[in-house]
Amino acid sequence: MEPQSFGGPEDDVLLQVARKLCDKLGLKASSVDRLLWRDFLHDVRTSRKVRVRCYGGHSFGHMLSAHFPILFDRALVLREMMKGRLQQEDWEPLFCSSLIFYGQFRWGRYLRRSLALLPFFASFAFIISSWIMYRYLGYPLPPWQVSAILLVALLISPFFPGLYLIRRLDRHSVLMADQRTAMVLGKERLLQTLEKIEAMRQSDLDQGKHDDWRDFMFVPKATERIKNLQK
């Protein structure tokens, strides 16, 4: 399948860089078939027509990372704010870490996420089995208020700790992907790019552009990634 072109010559070059990295990392070339520039995760998941019709074209929600492209439905999504601020050689190590995270670590991440939510699934199974026991064995049912409180408590109590654990595990996986990128492309290349982006962040913060550099969910800060590589 030929890669789809959605932008100018720069996008075509970056898309070819990403696809060559797929070959180097042992991933299918079809893992990346287009390049997108977006600032918000909402803009990635929702088409422009829907945004204009339902939300007046406004964007909201989680802001994407400036230094960690995401892979969404075979689209490599880059932070629109960074367009034109990095060179091709700067993007390559960032692409590499992202492709390792979403490609090579894919099944390991699914397994760890399932294990992190195992207490939640166990609580759900306990609720279902208890309902069946009370319903079909004729045991007296507790008042609905008590049942509702128990239901919420049993579902929520393991759910949010599970989400927190998933976030921690994904952050660790990003750092591990950086270490593997250092083995593939060399540590200095990724370090130089991250330090360059951190210098941009500091410059923008000095100009009062704080909202442009919000962290994206599971992605560690650029300074954390730098420290991890320097160990």
Domain presence at residue 199: yes
Question: What is the structure's pLDDT at 151?
Answer: 67
Task: State yes or no: pLDDT of 161 exceeds 60.
Answer: yes
- SS3 assignment, position 163: helix
Residue 200: domain span: 9-111+163-230
184: left (phi over 0), alpha (psi -120 to 50) or beta: alpha
Q: What is the crossing angle of helices 144-185 and 88-99, to 10°?
A: 130
pTM above 0.85, yes or no: no
Token pair, residue 10, equals 């720069």
pLDDT score recorded for residue 222: 94
DSSP state of 77: E
The Cα 207–Cα 174 span in angstroms is: 29
Confidence of residue 80 (pLDDT cuts 50, 70, 90): very high
pLDDT of residue 4: 45
Give the pLDDT score at 53. 47
> 90 is written with which tokens?
């700067």
Tell me whether residue 80 is in a domain: yes
Q: Residue 84 domain-assigned? A: yes
* pLDDT one-digit tens code per residue, 195-224: 999 999 999 999 888 778 877 778 999 999
Higher pLDDT, 56 or 137: 137
Is 138 part of a structural domain of the chain? no
Whether residue 2 lies inside any domain: the answer is no
Domain annotation covers residue 143: no
Alpha-carbon span 77 to 8, nearest angstrom: 15
* 133 conformational bin, left if phi > 0, alpha if psi -120 to 50, beta if neither: alpha
* 77 in a structural domain: yes
Does the residue 147 lie in any domain? no
Q: Could you give the number of structural domains in the chain? A: 1
Inter-axis angle of helices 144-185 and 222-230, to 10 degrees?
Answer: 50
